[in-house]
Amino acid sequence: MALLRSIQSPKESAVCQLGSQSKILSLVLLASLWGAQTVDANDSVVEEIVVHGELRDNTLMSTPSSVSVISLTDWRAGTVNHLEELLSRAPNVNFSSGASRGRFIQIRGIGERGQFAEPLNPSVGLLLDGVDMSGIGTAATLFDINQVEIFRGPQGTVYGANALAGLINVTSNDPTENFYARLTLDAGDFDSQGIGAVVSGPLGERLGFRIALKSYRDDGFIKNAFLGRDNTANHDERTFRGKLVWSPNDQSDLTFNIGRIDVDNGYDNFSLDNDRITLSDQPGQDIQETTYASLKWAAEWPNTHRLEVSIGHTDSDIDYGYDEDWTFVGFHPFGYSSTDRYLRDRQTTTFDARLLSGPVSGSRLFDDTTDWVIGAFALRQSVALSREYTFLPAPFASDFEIDRFALYGELTHHLNERTRLTVGLRGEQHRAEYRDTEAVRFDPTDTLLGGRLQIERDLTNGALLYAGVTRGYKAGGFNTSGTLDADLREFDPEVLWNYEVGLKGSWRETKLQARIAIFYMQRDDVQVNTSIIRDRPDGSVEFIDFTGNAAEGTNAGVEVELTWAPTDKLTTFANVGFLETEFEDYINGAGDNLSGRDQAQAPAYQFYLGADYQFERGWYARLEFEGRDEYFFSDSHDAVSDAYALVNASIGYGAERWAVKLWARNLTDEDVFVRGFFFGNDPRDGYTPRGFTQLGEPRRIGMSVSFSL
């Protein structure tokens, strides 16, 4: 079958981020010298990794942009159930929670940190088998996923408005040419248990199928002392994926994906003492039921060109709520009791059609020197929200719709056998319509323009050097809180210019792969999520979340990813990077001048490094280190996370048809903060504003077993 392919992925990706330009240059020089000094060792075979998230499929080492590909087929790594558990493996990628999972993602310091009311225009796009999941990342379970591609920097030509900071493309495994079945069993502390099954194979000469099912649950990491329960922040997630691939002839493929993800998680993660012991009498929930489907047709037409048409649709019911006071009635004489609940019905449909020049002579332009792509994209999204809040006299309801339409194209001109110049352009119209029960109405329309200009050159040693500028954009919007001041209601589109230089190389004699990118980003009319705190008549406070525009911002740094296999048994990975961000001419909603301050969710450094050793007769051991610097939780206050460094490990045995492994994450049981606020919520100190944090995963230990046919 033309589309039944086997894709190999790198052993790992890893991370780090920078704090000064001198450190950036020193790090790049060090990486380059290491690569140059080790080009005289043994033969090796460098794995070929295919990237699918660009306009054309390409190998990782020949893709002229900063992208990490994380393989989920590497069973030696620790068990991963959700996207949040592997984001730390990619340079300059962070996330925030404020929910049962970290579904708000930041790339190079840009991205949302939460959502309460509509609208939300994501800065980081999320695609799952061609279906747009941007902004609803709770659905990003990872059972039977082949690889996760993380593109850093604006994707102004490829995806447009929802990819200002980058794009995450998740692809599931394809059907196998022969019958295949696998059963996986997971067990661990916190009463965690999982069971998954995969069945795959041919249904005829040119038709293949794959079905995957997974159920995972744990009690979570919180003890509710008032209710006497240890499962009020539990995870209970079920995943179904189905795929059909039909190749009616050697020139065309039809791929159909369908899936269902049911998440029934608890949300009880904040305590007045910033620990894992809560006192809430009405614990919250983080429920999401998502059904999705996609259809992609690809054909050579007629033998010199390629046509690709894809349609994706997702329908999600989301129920997110929490105990706002974090305590029980009677906890304190001056305390209050309140809950807040958001119920959403969200539907998204996308259409993309593109025509591409083929690889054979005669399909290119300008005397067969220029590859080309032209395409059209459309998106329709509707979100119906119902909010049930203690301090509202009646439930609040809103209806929000988005229509996006874009035309795009790209030319890659071969200046000579080793040098290429790429010019891409995307024009997009973004329309929104908003209505709510408080008579708030908005009908904004934005016309947006993005693209890239890039030059790349193949070096004599097989490496790739590239440099370019890309322009990304994010649609404007509005704030819907009925108590918000009129001049804070609307905000303008944001534009981002990204200047980047990169080097990628594979030194086969040393089994070394290196990928290095240096970038500088200029942000105009920065959309900043901030908040205002206002006193209620009863002495409690109202927390108003809203978005406004800062004048300008800059984000600069470096990303380095290295994989080195000095022997056939040992593979090491040491990926590092740094990030430096700041605002320019920005005064937030509280009147604070933040000019020169670091942007939120932007740690100065991150790292993910380690080694994987394969012993004789199928045994292996793996050791990983990951960490990051401190960073601001928000642009509206000065609360910061702590820097941390974690140790992960796994050991196991793999045979032809079965495998077993023992794994541990955060072996030293370090505290990791995944969300932070600064306001008054403790009646014991008279609701004095102070920092509150949500703790991430503590030490985890477990075992996984898999059997296959």
Length of the chain: 709
**What's the confidence (pLDDT) of residue 594?**
81
Strands 124-128 and 166-172: parallel
CATH code, 458 = 2.40.170.20
pLDDT in tens, 180-229: 999 999 999 999 999 999 999 999 889 999 999 999 999 999 999 999 99
Is residue 394 situated within a structural domain? yes
pLDDT in tens, 257-288: 999 999 999 999 999 999 999 999 999 999 99
* Residue 471 pLDDT greater than 90, yes or no: yes
* Residue 410 pLDDT greater than 80, yes or no: yes
Q: Report residue 42's pLDDT band, with 50, 70 and 90 as the boundaries.
A: very low
What is the DSSP annotation of 303-357?
A: SSEEEEEEEEEEEEEEEEEEETTSS-TTSSTT----EEEEEEEEEEEEEEEEEEE
Is residue 7 situated within a structural domain? no
The identity of residue 618, as a single letter, is G
Check if the beta carbon of residue 13 is closer than 8 Å to that of residue 69.
yes
pLDDT in tens, 329-364: 999 998 899 999 999 999 999 999 999 998 776 788
Check if the beta carbon of residue 655 is closer than 8 Å to that of residue 665.
no
Is residue 438 situated within a structural domain? yes
Is residue 1 situated within a structural domain? no
Question: Taking the CB of residue 578, how many other CB atoms lie within 10 A of it?
Answer: 26
Mean model confidence pLDDT for the chain = 88
- Output the CA–CA distances (angstroms, integers) from residue 478 to 235, 392, 411, 549, 612, in the order listed: 33, 21, 36, 11, 49
Is residue 8 situated within a structural domain? no
Is residue 43 situated within a structural domain? yes
Is residue 63 situated within a structural domain? yes
**What's the confidence (pLDDT) of residue 76?**
64
pLDDT in tens, 522-569: 999 998 877 777 676 766 666 677 788 888 999 999 999 999 999 989
Please give the tally of structural domains in the chain: 1
Please state, in angstroms and rounded to a whole number, the distance separating the CA atoms of residues 133 and 292: 9
- Give the residue from 408, 493, 492 showing the smallest Cα distance to 452: 408
Query: pTM for the whole thing?
Result: 0.91
**What's the confidence (pLDDT) of residue 227?**
98
Strands 477-478 and 490-491: antiparallel
pLDDT in tens, 299-319: 987 668 999 999 999 999 999
**Phi–psi pair at 381, nearest 5 degrees:** -135, 140
* Residue 596 pLDDT greater than 70, yes or no: yes
pLDDT in tens, 212-225: 999 999 999 999 99
Domain enclosing residue 301, as ranges? 21-708
Q: Report residue 457's pLDDT band, with 50, 70 and 90 as the boundaries.
A: very high
